[in-house]
Amino acid sequence: MTRRPPRAFVAGWMHETNTFSPIPTSRESFQAASYRPEPGVFAPPAHIDTLGYGHLARLCQQAGIELHAGLFAHTGPSAAMGARDHAAMRAEILAGLQRAMPVDQVYLFMHGAQIAQGCDDVEGDLLAAVRAVVGPGVPVAVLLDLHANITPAMLCHASFCVGCLEYPHTDYEDRARHVFGLVQRLRDGQIRPHTQAWRIPLVGIYRTIDGPMKAFVERLRTAHEAPGVLSVSAFHGFPLGDTPHTGAMLVLVSDGESAATAALGSTLAQDFIDTVLRIPAPPGLDAALDDALAGDEGPVVLADSGDNPGGGAAGDSTFVLEALLQRGVRNAAFGLLWDPVAADFAHRAGEGATLELRLGGKVSALSGRPLDVRAEVLCVRDDARQAWFAQGEPRARLGRSAALRVQGVDVIVNSERQQVFDPRCFTEHGVDPAARRLVVVKGSTHFVNGFAPLARRIVYCASPGSLSLDPSLFDYRRIRRPLYPLDPGYTPVAEPMVIHVGDRAGAP
């Protein structure tokens, strides 16, 4: 009898849920970045070959592992999905796993802050169900976003909970390779993974490309080399999901249990807190604009963080644009303003036309006022795209889009709501951000990879909006307190988690 090749099941379901978002979420929300492979056929198509998914699939195939793919579905951040659609997507993934059985290894791609109505912990719930299908001896790895809120169920049922280390998330492929290596070593009986975790009672958005967090990530990478350490992840948490699990977490996976790795994890957990406490708060709108407009040299790129669709905001807020028009700013570019009606009107009017428009400010009170403007249509497109993290091919469709000149500001409006990653958002419409005095992007950090090469300076603005960086603006009801910085005067202290290891793969 010939021995069958090892068999892997791979699936993905990724949604960062913002319980304060005005944007609803349904099964249809995932359509644009969904993939339902035919049984026995698997080649990740370009539109979902991202977030480490295609890379992991290729690693499996190169290693001669028989790949059985289930649903892969990804959508941008928005509100919690309804219970019926949650149950349907959960069942679809589990049905794919059942068809693939018996499997020797499981890889899940999930965000780690997904909430459905009636389920606070979509990831932990799915991992428990997957574990129940495959049994205790099969490696189950989950690759998560750095902004994951980690739960006890996730840590209990996954053999490996691994997150990307960088924000912008430019290291998904590295971490996919890391996870793949861990799973092979566990399958071959070379390691006995033991997961330890420390709850870090703070929430916030911390980029890793500069300042104290950059040095901390270097220390995390170094920690991977310590004896007995298999993997370390520092999850920043996602502050706009109102659940008891919301907050940061340090997760260390060691080979067996040892006092040395426990001490290292504890040290890194305190280091994580000390690092966050050293990060200065970003300026508000007026101070950020004063800073951005100081001096004559450009381009200065200003991040409209409070309305970042990449965190569940609408992307149609007008606070920054209104301030630019009031100040009479010229030679500026602004995008992406999510306004399908304005984009449609611009297409109907045609390039070169001038029209009176009511721009933005439509979705909720946190979108600000709509602006009644006179706009010249510079360019209209149906086929413009940008590249996620400004890496690789441009796969993200902007939808129906247009460049509009409003006083001295060229505004890019579009119909497919998304954050700005890539200067193509502007250049595809004939607007060269490198030649502008000021460029405003709706985003928090993911734009940096694409814009740092052209920006003289980047100014991060704590602008108003549904992704405000000030968590005290939100009506939290379920989040665990005390929590930094929600509770003035509170100094966070790392708290070891108790994880039940009895049913985890590799446990004695």
The footprint of Zn ion (CB under 5 A) covers 145, 147
Among 80, 90, 10, 86, smallest CA distance to 51 is for 10
Closer by beta carbon to Zn ion, 145 or else 339: 145
Q: Which stretches of 400-495 are DSSP H helices?
A: 424-427, 448-451
User: Considering beta carbons, is residue 195 or 419 the nearer one to Zn ion?
Assistant: 419
Q: Which residue lies nearer to Zn ion by CB, 104 or 145?
A: 145
Q: At which residue do the structure tokens 């912990």 appear?
A: 121
* Pairwise CA distance, residues 309 & 305, whole Å: 9
Shortest spacing between CB 207 and Zn ion, in angstroms: 11
Give yes or no for a contact between 408 and 388, defined as CB atoms under 8 angstroms apart. Answer: no
Comparing CB distances to Zn ion, the nearer of 9 and 172 is 172
Q: Considering beta carbons, is residue 147 or 397 the nearer one to Zn ion?
A: 147
Closest distance between Zn ion and the C-beta of residue 467, in Å?
12
Query: Shortest approach of Zn ion to residue 472 CB, angstroms?
Result: 22
- Residue (149 or 401) nearer to Zn ion, CB: 149
**Token output for 101:** 């059985």
Identify which of residues 96 and 312 has a Cβ nearer to Zn ion in the complex: 312
* Distant-in-sequence, close-in-space partners of 373: CB < 8 Å, separation ≥ 6: 325, 356, 357, 359, 406, 407
61 phi, psi to nearest 5 deg: -65, -40
Tell me the closest approach of the beta carbon of residue 148 to Zn ion, in angstroms: 8
- Give the whole-angstrom CA distance, residue 453 versus residue 471: 31
Query: Distance from CA of residue 412 to its chain's centroid?
Result: 23
Q: Cβ–Cβ contacts within 10 Å for residue 256, how many?
A: 13
Residue type, 171: D
Taking the complex as a whole, the smallest distance from the CB of residue 146 to Zn ion amounts, in Å, to: 5
Nearest approach in angstroms of CB 156 to Zn ion is 23
Using CA of residue 49, residue 55, residue 59, residue 65, what is the dihedral sign?
A: negative
- To Zn ion, the closest distance from the beta carbon of 205 in angstroms equals 9
User: Taking CB positions, which residue lies at the least distance from Zn ion?
Assistant: 147
Q: How distant is the alpha carbon of residue 464 from its chain centre?
A: 20
Angstrom distance (rounded) from CA 37 to CA 44: 9
Instruction: Tell me how far, at minimum, the Cβ of 388 lies from Zn ion, in Å.
Output: 12
Q: Which residue, 16 or 120, has its beta carbon nearer to Zn ion?
A: 16
Nearer to Zn ion, 135 or 392 (CB): 392
Q: How far is the CB of 48 from Zn ion (least distance, A)?
A: 17
Backbone φ, ψ for residue 416 (5° rounding): -100, 105
Cα 410–chain centre separation: 28
Q: Which of 148, 152, 97, 92 is nearest to 125 (CA)?
A: 152
Classify residue 175 by its DSSP letter. Answer: H
Question: Is the Cβ of residue 147 or residue 199 nearer to Zn ion in the bound state?
Answer: 147
Residue located via tokens 């750095």: 146
**Closest to 145 in 3D by CA, of 234, 216, 212, 217:** 234
Q: Specify the residue, 145 or 410, whose C-beta has the smaller distance to Zn ion.
A: 145
CB of 421 to Zn ion, least distance (A): 13
**Cβ proximity to Zn ion, 164 vs 366, nearer residue:** 164
- Name the minimum Å distance from CB 423 to Zn ion: 21
Q: Where are the beta strands (DSSP E) in 179-247?
A: 193-200, 229-235
Q: In b/e form, how buried is each residue of 285-317, taking b as 16+ CB within 10 angstroms?
A: beebbebbbeeeebbbbbbbbbbbbbbbbbbbb
In angstroms, give the least distance from the CB of 403 to Zn ion: 29
Residue identified by tokens 């975790």 is: 197
Q: Which residue has the tokens 């001038």?
A: 354
Q: What are phi and psi of 45, to 5 degrees?
A: -70, 160
